[in-house]
Amino acid sequence: MKLERKKDVSPKYLLIVLSVICIALTVISAFFPDAVKPIKEFTGKFMTPLQEGANDVGSWFDDKVQVFGDVKELKKENEELKKELTQYQNDLGKQEAELAELQTLRDLYDLDEMYPDYKKTAARIFSVNSSGWFNEFYINKGLNDDVYEGCNVICDEGLLGIVVESYDDYAKVRAIIDDRANVTAEIGSAGYLCNVEGSLQNMDNGYLLATDIDKNAIVTEGDKVITSSVSDRYLYGITIGYVTSVEQDPNNLTQTARITLTVNFSDIKDVLVILDRKQEVNY
């Protein structure tokens, strides 16, 4: 009886009712983000374990497929690697001696302050935005592991992104190549300030643009681009990439440089989250 009555509701009216719900939710989430956070949290509690499980299945499958790779190739590679290993072991002793020397020199110049050792935690990516428009992904650490909104995310090679939403057991990260991302950075040893703009279009061609460099700045090919100390969201000294070319802007006031990123965004599985956050100043 109940079902019968339900069927009588015209789809048109249902459409109107649901549209109103959608619009109301949009307005609420735009103006009061905290009000809808419980909804996200609640759904996330059900979905993220499933996603992590599916990700594990994917990893397992990936491993199994790789086992079927050519054994001969592996043997050959093994031999080569062994040779390399002995060479590296020889090198290691030398490097260690040099490292000790470097450390004493650093202590001498008090450079420790400049490259502080940030507290980090490892996390794994378990889900990514598949729309092709945005570069966002989910990691399996959240508030319970002291990962808060605004934490920087890096991998071995350099800066990856920043945590934009954090929940109990997982967090959402926006990559620096996302079209909406902007990073204040500095170039070279002189530390000229610039703004690294994330861009879908440029990233497709393999570079990002560093804009608003002072026109008098001397920027050359190969200069290292790192996060700046004046950035209010990114910690100082994380590698972003290297300059490949530089150009004077038509306005004759600024320069724009093309930079190649050190991180390969097409093959990332494990990331490091820096637990220290940038000090905030309320003006």
Partner 1 sequence: MRRIISIFILIILSFLLQSVLFSFQNVRGIAPNLLLILTMSFGIMRGRREGMLTGFFCGFLYDIFFGTLIGPYMFLFMIIGYLNGAFHKEFLMEDVMMPVIIIIVDELFFNFVIYIATFLLRNRTNLFFYLTHVMLPQMLFTALATIIIYRFYVWINKYLKKKVEENEVV
DSSP state for residue 16 in the 8-state scheme: H
Can residue 19 be called a binding residue for partner 1 (CB under 8 A)? yes
Which of 55, 184, 254, 260 touches partner 1 by CB under 8 A? 55
Q: How far is the CB of 12 from partner 1 (least distance, A)?
A: 8
Closer residue to partner 1, CB minimum distance, 189 or 266: 266
Which of 47, 74, 81, 92 touches partner 1 by CB under 8 A? 47
Q: How far apart (Å, rounded) are the C-alpha atoms in residues 225 and 241?
A: 5
Structure tokens at 177: 């190549």
Cα 178 to the chain's mean position, in Å?
9
Q: How far is the CB of 84 from partner 1 (least distance, A)?
A: 26
For β-strands 136-139 and 171-175, DSSP reports them as antiparallel
Rounded to a whole number of angstroms, the CA Rg of the chain reads: 24
Q: How far is the CB of 7 from partner 1 (least distance, A)?
A: 8
Can residue 126 be called a binding residue for partner 1 (CB under 8 A)? yes
Q: Which residues pair with 154 in a beta bridge?
A: 159, 272
Burial (Cβ within 10 Å: 0-12, 13-18, ≥19) of residue 187: buried
Closer residue to partner 1, CB minimum distance, 30 or 108: 30
Q: Of 248-277, which residues contact partner 1 (CB under 8 A)? A: 265-269
Q: How far is the CB of 132 from partner 1 (least distance, A)?
A: 4
Q: Of 180-219, which residues contact partner 1 (CB under 8 A)? A: 180, 200-201, 203-204
Closer residue to partner 1, CB minimum distance, 129 or 184: 129
Cβ atoms within 10 A of the Cβ of 268, count?
A: 17
Structure tokens at 164: 């934009």
Q: From 138, 149, 155, 206, select the one nearest 177 (Cα to Cα).
A: 206
**Residue 40, helix vs strand vs coil:** helix
Please identify, among the stretches 98-106, 171-179, 220-228, 241-249, the one whose residues bind partner 1 according to the rule CB under 8 A: 171-179
Closer residue to partner 1, CB minimum distance, 14 or 114: 14
Which of 133, 157, 215, 249 touches partner 1 by CB under 8 A? 133
Closer residue to partner 1, CB minimum distance, 176 or 187: 176
Q: How far is the CB of 86 from partner 1 (least distance, A)?
A: 32
- Site of tokens 């109301």: 24
| Structural contact between residues 211 and 197, judged by C-beta atoms closer than 8 angstroms | yes
| Structural contact between residues 158 and 262, judged by C-beta atoms closer than 8 angstroms | yes
Point out which residues bind partner 1 (CB under 8 A): 11, 14-15, 18-19, 22-30, 36, 39-40, 43-44, 47, 50-51, 54-55, 57-58, 62, 125-138, 175, 177, 179-180, 200-201, 203-204, 265-269
